[in-house]
Amino acid sequence: MVYRAIGLMSGSSLDGLDIACVEFHENAGKWNYEILQAECYPYPEDWVIRLKTATSLNALDYQLLHVDYGHYVGQQVNKFIEEKNLHYQVALISSHGHTTFHIPGKRMTGQLGDGAAIAAETHLPVVSDLRAMDVAFGGQGAPIVPIGEKLLFGSYNYFLNIGGIANISAKPSSPVEKGGPAEGAYIAFDVCAANRVLNMLANDAGKEYDKDGEMATQGKLDNVLLEKLNRLDYYRQPYPKSLANDFGTGIVYPIISDAGIAIQDALRTYTEHIVIQIKNVVASLKNRQPAGEVQQLLCTGGGAFNTYLVGQIRDQLEELNIEIVVPGKQLVNYKEALIMALMGVLRWREEYNVLSSVTGAARDSIGGALWMGQEA
């Protein structure tokens, strides 16, 4: 079977709306893909502010924003289809939305971007609310991309995405690993806040972000701050676990601000913190893989372009006999949008698209609400 779908992703770093048009080929359960077109449309300043402040709105204004953002997203998809000459070539849109509230402990997660509004703007079928079913089954609703890593990128042992939040996935060993509740299962969880905090620190210096980690390389390590960050309770919690955006903005950033150190020192110290947390979790998962073999970790997300950060991670993981692979720019930028498209196709096929071994839900689920925007 051949499917052409558009995947949409808006990350916590608020850099823009990622759109990828993907052609999938499925044959006897084997999936292949080709990204036909992809683009990131940066958010205008007013949308950055509206999305950033969404959680402070009253209930009515929040719902109005949800609908308004859905229409905005639909208009951006129409613009993408027009610019890329994709008329009559897209069968389905799958939208992650923009995460605001994420409280899986109370079986609640919220993503802005009304699927009905997107469908009304584009006149195409739309899948949205991809996390909600898993959360209703008691899962974390995150990370959800491992289904795509499993079906599309099976040759790698680990997957690291460095976005606003850094998360990691580890595939099971082959043959099935022995013992424990996760026998033979994919494992994935959020590691720590990443680009969202680094960008906030760069903003304090009047920059959009710390290009290539240049400011971090000029800073000094603050060991007192580093130790305080490393002691945060989240890192001692067992997986499955996930982070809301306010972990970075409401907990981590104030700790760094209260330290009263230079921006370069803060960036250097927080970069070191990210590296330490990534190394810790990879070390804890390494026994899932065959001993003695060089293992590969696929690194994507905006942080993969931070040459200083990736270099530090590479140096640390070499000690664990793990090789970091940073793919081409298109996959680095659009891996999550690609997988959103796949999740939408799986939802259309009524097949599982969220893995309970990753999220801790009662069972695997078929996530996503389907909105039929086309005429019958």
The CATH number that domain 2-140+340-371 falls under is: 3.30.420.40
**Residue 351 confidence (pLDDT) above 90:** yes
Query: Is the bond preceding residue 172 a cis peptide, omega within 30 degrees?
Result: no
Query: What tens digit of pLDDT does each residue of 61-77 get?
Result: 999 999 999 999 999 99
Query: What tens digit of pLDDT does each residue of 294-337 get?
Result: 899 999 999 999 999 999 999 999 999 999 999 999 999 999 99
- Tokens 């390494």 map to which residue? 286
Instruction: Please say whether the dihedral angle defined by the alpha carbons of residues 186, 192, 197 and 198, taken in this order, is positive or negative.
Output: negative
Query: What tens digit of pLDDT does each residue of 102-156 get?
Result: 999 999 999 999 999 999 999 999 999 999 999 999 999 988 999 999 999 988 9
Do 167 and 192 contact (CB within 8 A), yes or no? no
Is the domain covering 146-327 a CATH 3.30.420.40 domain?
yes
Q: Which is it for strands 158-162 and 295-300: parallel, antiparallel or unpaired?
A: parallel
**Residue 182 confidence (pLDDT) above 50:** no
Domain with CATH 3.30.420.40 in the chain: 2-140+340-371, 146-327
d(CA 196, CA 14): 8
**Residue 183 confidence (pLDDT) above 60:** no
DSSP bridge partners of 160: 168, 299
DSSP bridge partners of 199: none
Question: What is the reported pLDDT for 178?
Answer: 43
d(CA 98, CA 370): 17
Query: What tens digit of pLDDT does each residue of 185-223 get?
Result: 889 999 999 999 999 999 999 999 999 999 999 999 999
Question: What is the reported pLDDT for 173?
Answer: 67
